[in-house]
A and B are shown apart, each in its own frame.
Chain A
Amino acid sequence: MRISLMPLAVLPLPPVLPTDDALLTRFAGGDRAALDELFRRYRSVAYRVAYRLLGREADALDAVQDGFVNALTHLDRFGGRSSFKTWLMRVVCNAALDIGRQRKRNERVPQAPRDASPDRFGVDDLAPADTGLVRADLRRAIDVALARLPDAQRRTFVLHVEGELTYRQVADALGISIGTVMSRLFYARQKLKDLLAAHQQP
């Protein structure tokens, strides 16, 4: 078998993305494009965290907006002690809590996804397991169950699962120890399991 070797020089090199630190430096110098790049990079994960904490698209978008503004306004408090993502998730989390308090919504009302069929199930009356959970129902079941977690457990779980933060990063974002993160996740999973199992029972 003959293998033709290609000179390395002609191989297309993957584009090198600027680091967050580089973007932050450029942003501090007034480069608006750097802000756009940071926004594109983290808007989705910030939105998912905010959405899981607030349950409404409009509120989650407000939290994303507040989170980016506050995170970039108070970069001096960030001080590079953690990654920018961890700092942003912390601020988005706080912004979501503020919005939740301001709008006095003690109980979350989950929003029907855009591609969902008209509401057929109440909050406590989700599709039984034998029909199989379609994607929209799955998301709604998770929304409802997450809304019933204690605040601290919900924040920890959401930052880890939706925010894709490691235990260490969650601990940094919430200002707690890794042990507390692990115990909160344990209890959150236990409770979510019970809640979701109850929803699946016919």
Chain B
Amino acid sequence: MIPEQPQPDPLDGYLANDRDAVHAARPDEPVEAQWDAVRRRIHDRLNPASPVPGSGRWRAAVCVAVGAALTTAAAVAWIAFAPAPTQKPEIAAVRSVPISPETPADPLAEFAVLPMATANEVDISRVPGSGWLPVGSDPLPGTLSLATTDEVELDDPDSVWSQVTKSPGDAPMIFAAKPR
């Protein structure tokens, strides 16, 4: 006797995106007449009844001509009847408004930069009692360059540091000076 296999739960199948279960749970489809009505309305909205060829173009040409004539007439009337200015209007002195200084040229543009830290790796703490609050854009929007490659010299490691290498794949390390 073959033991009965437990029927898979259709809801579990639906949740697991089992295609048979999803298919079984599909809502009823509209009948063809409903589809056809939707299709026709889409056509009507995308292709509204087009105007009689030619008549629209003719009407537009008349509108343009009438508009141009009215504009010309108004311009002539303005020139003919506008009062002449008796005195020159004083031009108010334009106050000089300080503008933000131009972005200074990048002093490191010509150098190959040795990145030491990114903005995310640096915390800026306000110094208590400093008396001023820096405002403006993020002073560290990108890489914080502490030195250029020309300013760093790599010496051969001392033989006592057997694990120290000069290979370029090693991360740069800075050793704090030992207080004396």
Contacts and interface: CB of A to CB of B under 8 A. Distances in A.
A131 B24 CA distance: 18
Interface string A18-55: 00000000000000100110010001100110011000
B43 A32 contact: yes
User: Which secondary structure dominates chain B's binding surface?
Assistant: helix
A107 interface: no
B11 A113 contact: no
A138 interface: yes
A59 interface: no
Given A142-B11, A142-B14, A35 B30 contact: no
User: Which secondary structure dominates chain A's binding surface?
Assistant: helix
Interface of B: 10-11, 14-15, 17, 22, 24-30, 34-35, 38-39, 41-43, 45-47
Interface of A: 32, 35-36, 39, 43-44, 47-48, 51-52, 57, 61, 64-65, 68-69, 72-73, 113-115, 133, 135, 138-139, 141-143, 160-162, 189, 192-193, 196, 200
13 contacts: A39-B39, A47-B30, A57-B27, A61-B38, A64-B38, A65-B38, A65-B45, A114-B28, A133-B10, A133-B11, A138-B11, A139-B27, A161-B14
